[in-house]
Amino acid sequence: MSMLDEINGVVESLFKAGTRYRTEKFILIGVYMVVVGVSVAWGISGIGARGGLVGEFETYSIAEIDEQKFVLKNVGEMDWKNVTVGINGRYLHHFEALNSANSTELNPEQFKYYFYVPRPLGYTGWERLASTDRPDSTAPSGVEIDDIAVRTEGGKVRVERGVSDP
């Protein structure tokens, strides 16, 4: 007996009159179809999606004092909690919250090098393993930003980049 014949037999037995537990089978199939329909409708509608996690990241320089500043704006509908901003996959800055329609100004010095593990020099020779010098423990003041990532308690934030004048 082929697999197709077996499947056909099972389907026919579900709908055959007088079978044992016929009512329960119909209820189970009906509930399953309702759950599938609601799931598909919910997925298509985008309810509960991360649509509210949208941000803008701008950089600007103050030429008079040769300083670079960053501005992170929450332009989405949701407040952000436990926010971590990463630049170039190396430097991180964490803060507690950023409310919807608000912004925060950041300095490169606030971003810490997250691979940095402070240890006394000479401890089992670990510093000799690196092929390049260890970077500063904070981002350099003139850091060029290639990549920006923002994560919150609610998920990853879609970030649009821009450059502005002060």
Whether residue 83 sits in one domain with residue 24: no
Mean pLDDT by 10 residues, the chain (166 residues): 82 70 81 93 66 82 81 88 88 90 90 67 55 70 85 84 60
- Say how far apart CA 94 and CA 105 lie, in whole Å: 13
Output the pTM of the full model. Answer: 0.59
Distance, CA of 158 to chain centre:
8
Q: Strand 80-87 to strand 148-152: parallel, antiparallel, or no bridges (unpaired)?
A: antiparallel
- Domain coverage including residue 15: 3-45
Whether residue 142 sits in one domain with residue 70: yes
Whether residue 114 sits in one domain with residue 72: yes
- Say how far apart CA 136 and CA 127 lie, in whole Å: 14
